[in-house]
Structure 1
Protein backbone atom coordinates (compact mmCIF):
# COMPACT_ATOMS: atom_id res chain seq x y z
CA UNK A 1 0.00 0.00 0.00
CA UNK A 2 2.81 2.42 0.80
CA UNK A 3 4.48 1.86 -2.57
CA UNK A 4 1.23 2.64 -4.35
CA UNK A 5 0.75 5.82 -2.31
CA UNK A 6 4.32 6.90 -2.98
CA UNK A 7 3.86 6.27 -6.70
CA UNK A 8 0.62 8.26 -6.70
CA UNK A 9 2.31 11.16 -4.94
CA UNK A 10 5.17 11.01 -7.43
CA UNK A 11 2.75 11.23 -10.37
CA UNK A 12 0.91 14.08 -8.64
CA UNK A 13 4.16 15.98 -8.11
CA UNK A 14 5.24 15.52 -11.74
CA UNK A 15 1.87 16.68 -13.07
CA UNK A 16 1.82 19.76 -10.81
CA UNK A 17 5.39 20.61 -11.80
CA UNK A 18 4.45 20.29 -15.48
CA UNK A 19 1.44 22.57 -15.04
CA UNK A 20 3.51 25.22 -13.27
CA UNK A 21 6.16 25.02 -16.00
CA UNK A 22 3.55 25.48 -18.73
CA UNK A 23 1.99 28.42 -16.89
CA UNK A 24 5.39 30.02 -16.28
CA UNK A 25 6.46 29.68 -19.91
CA UNK A 26 3.18 31.07 -21.23
CA UNK A 27 3.90 34.73 -21.88
CA UNK A 28 0.30 35.81 -21.37
CA UNK A 29 0.18 34.27 -17.92
CA UNK A 30 3.62 35.67 -17.05
CA UNK A 31 2.59 39.16 -18.15
CA UNK A 32 -0.65 38.86 -16.19
CA UNK A 33 1.20 37.97 -12.99
CA UNK A 34 3.66 40.82 -13.57
CA UNK A 35 0.91 43.40 -14.12
CA UNK A 36 -1.24 42.18 -11.26
CA UNK A 37 1.79 42.31 -8.94
CA UNK A 38 2.62 45.81 -10.13
CA UNK A 39 -0.93 47.04 -9.52
CA UNK A 40 -0.93 45.45 -6.07
CA UNK A 41 2.37 47.20 -5.24
CA UNK A 42 1.03 50.59 -6.35
CA UNK A 43 -2.04 50.25 -4.18
CA UNK A 44 -0.42 48.59 -1.18
CA UNK A 45 2.61 50.88 -1.02
CA UNK A 46 1.23 54.29 -1.92
CA UNK A 47 4.67 55.88 -2.16
CA UNK A 48 5.51 53.61 -5.10
CA UNK A 49 2.32 54.49 -6.92
CA UNK A 50 2.82 58.21 -6.39
CA UNK A 51 6.43 58.06 -7.53
CA UNK A 52 6.01 56.13 -10.77
CA UNK A 53 2.39 56.48 -11.84
CA UNK A 54 -0.67 58.60 -11.29
CA UNK A 55 -4.00 57.34 -10.06
CA UNK A 56 -6.82 58.56 -12.28
CA UNK A 57 -9.83 57.40 -10.30
CA UNK A 58 -11.75 54.35 -9.23
CA UNK A 59 -12.33 51.99 -12.13
CA UNK A 60 -12.75 48.32 -12.69
CA UNK A 61 -10.54 46.49 -13.52
CA UNK A 62 -7.94 48.11 -11.29
CA UNK A 63 -5.44 48.29 -14.15
CA UNK A 64 -7.48 51.18 -15.57
CA UNK A 65 -7.03 53.21 -12.35
CA UNK A 66 -3.41 54.06 -13.17
CA UNK A 67 -1.65 56.00 -15.89
CA UNK A 68 2.03 56.59 -16.41
CA UNK A 69 4.45 58.43 -18.61
CA UNK A 70 7.78 57.18 -19.82
CA UNK A 71 10.43 57.72 -17.19
CA UNK A 72 13.74 59.24 -18.17
CA UNK A 73 16.55 56.85 -17.49
CA UNK A 74 19.83 57.96 -16.08
CA UNK A 75 22.87 56.72 -17.95
CA UNK A 76 24.79 54.00 -16.19
CA UNK A 77 28.13 55.04 -14.81
CA UNK A 78 31.05 53.44 -16.55
CA UNK A 79 33.47 51.58 -14.38
CA UNK A 80 36.99 52.79 -14.83
CA UNK A 81 39.58 50.13 -14.40
CA UNK A 82 43.23 50.84 -14.41
CA UNK A 83 46.12 48.51 -14.78
CA UNK A 84 48.67 50.67 -13.02
CA UNK A 85 47.90 50.55 -9.34
CA UNK A 86 44.74 52.65 -9.36
CA UNK A 87 46.30 55.90 -10.57
CA UNK A 88 44.44 57.74 -13.28
Structure 2
Protein backbone atom coordinates (compact mmCIF):
# COMPACT_ATOMS: atom_id res chain seq x y z
CA UNK A 1 0.00 0.00 0.00
CA UNK A 2 2.93 2.33 0.62
CA UNK A 3 4.01 1.92 -3.03
CA UNK A 4 0.53 2.87 -4.20
CA UNK A 5 0.55 6.00 -2.03
CA UNK A 6 3.90 7.00 -3.47
CA UNK A 7 2.63 6.85 -7.10
CA UNK A 8 -0.95 7.96 -6.40
CA UNK A 9 -0.52 11.49 -7.76
CA UNK A 10 1.06 10.28 -11.00
CA UNK A 11 -1.59 7.59 -11.52
CA UNK A 12 -4.36 10.12 -10.83
CA UNK A 13 -2.82 12.59 -13.30
CA UNK A 14 -2.54 9.95 -16.03
CA UNK A 15 -6.15 8.89 -15.42
CA UNK A 16 -7.26 12.53 -15.66
CA UNK A 17 -5.41 13.01 -18.97
CA UNK A 18 -6.96 9.83 -20.38
CA UNK A 19 -10.43 10.93 -19.24
CA UNK A 20 -9.93 14.35 -20.84
CA UNK A 21 -8.80 12.75 -24.11
CA UNK A 22 -11.87 10.50 -24.10
CA UNK A 23 -14.15 13.48 -23.40
CA UNK A 24 -12.63 15.49 -26.26
CA UNK A 25 -13.08 12.54 -28.61
CA UNK A 26 -16.72 12.20 -27.62
CA UNK A 27 -17.23 15.94 -28.09
CA UNK A 28 -15.79 15.78 -31.60
CA UNK A 29 -17.96 12.80 -32.47
CA UNK A 30 -21.07 14.60 -31.19
CA UNK A 31 -20.20 17.68 -33.24
CA UNK A 32 -19.69 15.59 -36.39
CA UNK A 33 -23.10 14.00 -35.87
CA UNK A 34 -24.70 17.42 -35.37
CA UNK A 35 -23.13 18.74 -38.58
CA UNK A 36 -24.25 15.62 -40.49
CA UNK A 37 -27.83 16.14 -39.27
CA UNK A 38 -27.67 19.79 -40.30
CA UNK A 39 -26.42 18.87 -43.79
CA UNK A 40 -29.13 16.24 -44.17
CA UNK A 41 -31.78 18.76 -43.13
CA UNK A 42 -30.49 21.27 -45.69
CA UNK A 43 -30.56 18.60 -48.40
CA UNK A 44 -34.11 17.67 -47.45
CA UNK A 45 -35.35 21.28 -47.69
CA UNK A 46 -33.45 22.17 -50.88
CA UNK A 47 -36.30 21.15 -53.24
CA UNK A 48 -38.70 23.35 -51.28
CA UNK A 49 -36.34 26.33 -51.50
CA UNK A 50 -35.78 25.74 -55.21
CA UNK A 51 -39.53 25.56 -55.75
CA UNK A 52 -39.96 28.89 -53.93
CA UNK A 53 -37.32 30.54 -56.10
CA UNK A 54 -38.98 29.15 -59.22
CA UNK A 55 -42.39 30.46 -58.14
CA UNK A 56 -40.87 33.87 -57.40
CA UNK A 57 -39.24 33.99 -60.84
CA UNK A 58 -42.53 33.05 -62.52
CA UNK A 59 -44.46 35.71 -60.58
CA UNK A 60 -41.94 38.48 -61.19
CA UNK A 61 -41.10 37.73 -64.84
CA UNK A 62 -43.72 40.17 -66.25
CA UNK A 63 -42.45 43.04 -64.11
CA UNK A 64 -38.86 42.18 -65.02
CA UNK A 65 -39.78 42.31 -68.71
CA UNK A 66 -41.41 45.71 -68.16
CA UNK A 67 -38.34 47.02 -66.36
CA UNK A 68 -36.09 45.72 -69.12
CA UNK A 69 -38.21 47.46 -71.77
CA UNK A 70 -38.18 50.71 -69.77
CA UNK A 71 -34.41 50.49 -69.33
CA UNK A 72 -34.00 49.89 -73.05
CA UNK A 73 -36.05 53.01 -73.82
CA UNK A 74 -34.16 55.14 -71.32
CA UNK A 75 -30.63 53.98 -72.15
CA UNK A 76 -30.89 52.91 -75.76
CA UNK A 77 -30.13 49.28 -75.01
CA UNK A 78 -30.43 46.54 -77.57
CA UNK A 79 -33.88 45.71 -78.95
CA UNK A 80 -33.25 42.07 -78.22
CA UNK A 81 -35.23 41.08 -75.13
CA UNK A 82 -33.40 38.41 -73.09
CA UNK A 83 -36.74 37.21 -71.67
CA UNK A 84 -38.20 36.07 -74.99
CA UNK A 85 -38.46 32.34 -75.66
CA UNK A 86 -35.54 30.90 -77.56
CA UNK A 87 -33.03 33.41 -76.29
CA UNK A 88 -30.01 32.11 -74.35
CA UNK A 89 -30.41 32.01 -70.57
CA UNK A 90 -29.16 34.93 -68.53
CA UNK A 91 -26.29 33.95 -66.25
CA UNK A 92 -25.70 36.17 -63.26
TM-score range, shorter chain: 0.3 to 0.5
Query: Which protein, 1 or 2, shows the higher relative CO under an 8 Å CA cutoff with sep ≥ 6?
Result: 1
Q: Which is richer in helix? A: 2
Give the TM-score normalised by the residue count of structure 2: 0.35
Q: Which is richer in strand? A: 1
Q: Which has the larger radius of gyration?
A: 2
